[in-house]
Amino acid sequence: MTHQKTATLLRIAAFFLTAVGIAMVIRRTLAIAGLIPSFNPSGAAPFDGGFAQHPVLTFMHILPGMLFMLLGPWQFMPGIRSRYPLFHRISGRIYIICGYIVGASALCMPFIMLPIGGVNEAAASILFSIFFLICISKAWWHIMQKNIAAHREWMIRAFAIGLAVSTVRPVIGLFFAFSGLPPQVFFGTAFWIGFTLHAVVAEVWINETKP
């Protein structure tokens, strides 16, 4: 498969996962507001219960996260960069600011809320939150140094990790459908699978497209 076809498939996947992420934010917002019931499999504790107990932290995480996912795909479209450089620069700054808010709030969440997947989920969240913040910081540093190639690489890593939460949900769905295990057992594993998969795909694409 050529790079052009692969790039097209990755853009389609990015827009699809962005749509999944936006749907997740809308659903969680409605659940916290009490407008729709929280997901409650097999009579277990509602998934949105912990988020509803900490709405400020939750909205600090999901609302900038939605903006991060919306702006992300446009950062990697050459036509946007060349035709609308001012939009690219301004949206890029908003993207990075949102990234810091998302990463910092994600890092705090396991210490404030009880993760559904326990220590396993908390470990994945903490590790990839730190890595995500490093990616955002490196992307910002390199663009300030006018190192466009390095900036691009760290932006790809940041976007891949930020978008991984949208992949975690289908993985969780597969566990529900086929494993027969309670969510407390497989939630952490689903987080590791989703985030690791995105990190690997990002590295492969970076190495395949280096000048």
CA 96 to chain centre: 13
Report pLDDT for 41.
62
Report pLDDT for 78.
81
Assigned token pair, 70: 């919306």
Distances (CA, A) of 118 to 113, 151, 197: 10, 35, 21
Q: Which residues of the chain have pLDDT under 50?
A: none
Count: domains in the chain: 1
| pTM for this entry | 0.92
Report pLDDT for 50.
79
**112 CB burial (10 A radius; 0-12, 13-18, 19+):** exposed
Distances (CA, A) of 203 to 68, 145, 181, 206: 20, 22, 32, 5
Report pLDDT for 46.
67
Report pLDDT for 152.
93
What is the amino acid identity at position 8? T
- Structural domain for 142, as ranges: 3-208
Task: Give me the helix-helix angle, 118-144 and 148-178, nearest 10°.
Answer: 160
Q: What is the DSSP string of 118-157?
A: HHHHHHHHHHHHHHHHHHHHHHHHHHHTT-HHHHHHHHHH
Report pLDDT for 44.
58
